[in-house]
Structure 1
Amino acid sequence: MNLTLNNPQTVSAPFGDRFAHVARLDLNGGALLMLAGQVAVDDHGEVVAPGNAAAQAERIFELITGILAAHGATLAGILHIRTFMTNLDDLPAYGAVRRRLLPADPASIPPASTTVEVNRLFLPGAVLEVEITAAVRTTA
């Protein structure tokens, strides 16, 4: 078992390098990836589309896709999604983006999921933060 903390080149470094974007636990035949909460920021750390849940969801999943790709994983490897929202009334907009990007095969069950409403997030204008746990298979 090997644990590494990483900030892949596929996305901008976290704010002030205060945390790792991903913790990777290598296991026999694969790895478990635990992504830090992602908010919709551009490459300069500015919030994208302040207050707009749908646009922020698009950006967040773009960041998540880049982090997963850096570790040989895809959105299909997501095991669990934890979402923090400042207003649960935004759930339909967020859910529409999620359903489009993570289409459920009719024969499969979607990833485990937790969604909670919070008073605020650490960046003004951010209305969503998404944490991901994913698996990547390194051997057949």
Structure 2
Amino acid sequence: MTGSGSMQHGSMEQQARTAYAAALARLEASGLGPEHVTRVTENVTVAGLAEYPDAAGVRADVLGPDAGVSTVVVEGLIDSDAPLAVELHTDGPGDDGVLHLPTVVPVDEHGDLVAPGDFVAQYRYCLERAGDLLERAGLTLGHAVTTYDYSTPDTRAVYRKTHHVRKELLGHNDGTVYPGAGGILMSRLHVPGQLVAIDVTASRHPLELVNPGWSRYDTLTYAPGVKAGRTLFMSGFAALDMETQAALHEGDLGAQAEATYGAILHLLAHAGLGPEHLVHTVEYCVASAAADFKEVLEVRERLLGPGAPAPSAALCDCLLRPEFLLEVFPTALYPADHEGQG
């Protein structure tokens, strides 16, 4: 269950209080309250970063000082000028054994930026820090089911150098199953000089690779899908030809949405699932294509059906492939009586 909210006017503190009130009202309509919230996602815009500490203060007032939060810096929100959007998550049927870490940033215990100017070193620090947090919960990076990273456009040229870091630190489990992954680029991140932030989700369940035969993943350090318990965690999808690895439909957001959701549906079908089993999707649209975002809405409704869960959506500066205009992070839930293998 997810409750969400945002507001377009007033100070950051006012907007945060209104956004939290709206998100809690959605939960209360389902008979849930703040005591049921297990994690928080806050999308804060680049323009709102300077006042973001005020939002953190509101969160502490509403949920207490220990609420786990994923803080995603975004270029903007879809169809809103608000600097902040809030999602409150409660545990559902697929959350048994799942641990969502707070967003990991390359800032040390003294508040100092780690390895200024060195993207790969900052990336390593974030993964190692995530590993430390997982160990406190009795897990390791080998239990990671997704790693979604957020970086800046300047890192494109060196992004591939993270491969050896991921190969060293991830996939240490039975079957050498790497987590799903996604990469989104923003014009800046939480603090000046920061080049990356990473959201890591892990599961206590055994991990199973879910791959419909896409050979491109044979040499990569991430998987198209990972089954853990009843949940199918997936990598970010964009308009990519899975055989040739060519970007598809350059400049056409609607056609890219068709290809992106088509690939997601293909993976779901391989797993014995359909669009009705999706429980959450996060859409990142390049800001320069925001005027055409209604085309994504039309494609999503046509391919997923009117009963599909409402997505989280935000604007990014760009994506790792400059031709891409859209990337989607999907999650699905197997039926309670499912006994098949991914």
TM-score range, shorter chain: 0.7 to 0.9
- Which of 51, 54, 68 is matched with 1:20 structurally? 68
Matching residue of 2:122:
56
Q: Percent identity?
A: 25
Matched, 1:136 2:204: yes
Judge conservation of contact 1:35–1:131 (CA < 8 Å) in 2.
yes
**Aligned residue runs from structure 1 range 1-140, under 5 A:** 4=38, 18=56, 20=68, 31-86=97-152, 87-103=155-171, 107-137=175-205
More helix by share: 2
Judge conservation of contact 2:143–2:173 (CA < 8 Å) in 1.
no
* 2:101 partner SS: strand
How far apart are the structure 1 equivalents of 2:133 and 2:37? 16
CA shift, 1:50, in A, is 1.1
Judge conservation of contact 2:147–2:182 (CA < 8 Å) in 1.
yes
How far apart are the structure 1 equivalents of 2:108 and 2:69? 15
Judge conservation of contact 1:53–1:93 (CA < 8 Å) in 2.
no
How far apart are the structure 2 equivalents of 1:24 and 1:97? 33
How far apart are the structure 1 equivalents of 2:149 and 2:120? 13
CA shift, 1:36, in A, is 2.1
How far apart are the structure 2 equivalents of 1:74 and 1:106? 13
Kindly report structure 1 stretches of 4+ aligned residues shifted beyond 6 Å: none
Greater RCO (Cα-Cα under 8 Å, separation 6 or more): 1
CA shift, 1:4, in A, is 4.7
What is the TM-score normalised by the length of structure 2?
0.32
**Deviation sequence 1:72-116 (CA, Å, 0-9, x none):** 111111011101111222212222211111146795442111112
How far apart are the structure 1 equivalents of 2:142 and 2:175? 14
> What is the aligned-residue RMSD (CA, Å)?
3.2
Judge conservation of contact 1:24–1:31 (CA < 8 Å) in 2.
no
CA 1:69 to 1:109, structure 2 compared with 1: closer, same or farther past 3 Å? closer
What is the TM-score normalised by the length of structure 1?
0.73
More strand by share: 1
How far apart are the structure 1 equivalents of 2:160 and 2:122? 13
* 2:204 partner SS: strand
Letter in 2 for 1:52: D
* 2:102 partner SS: strand
Letter in 2 for 1:118: M
CA 1:67 to 1:43, structure 2 compared with 1: closer, same or farther past 3 Å? same
Unpaired runs of at least 5, structure 1: 6-14
CA 1:56 to 1:73, structure 2 compared with 1: closer, same or farther past 3 Å? same
Judge conservation of contact 1:78–1:111 (CA < 8 Å) in 2.
yes
Number of aligned residues: 127
CA shift, 1:136, in A, is 2.1
How far apart are the structure 2 equivalents of 1:24 and 1:101? 30
CA 1:4 to 1:103, structure 2 compared with 1: closer, same or farther past 3 Å? closer
Bigger radius of gyration, 1 or 2? 2
Matching residue of 1:11:
none
* 2:97 partner SS: strand
Judge conservation of contact 2:101–2:200 (CA < 8 Å) in 1.
yes
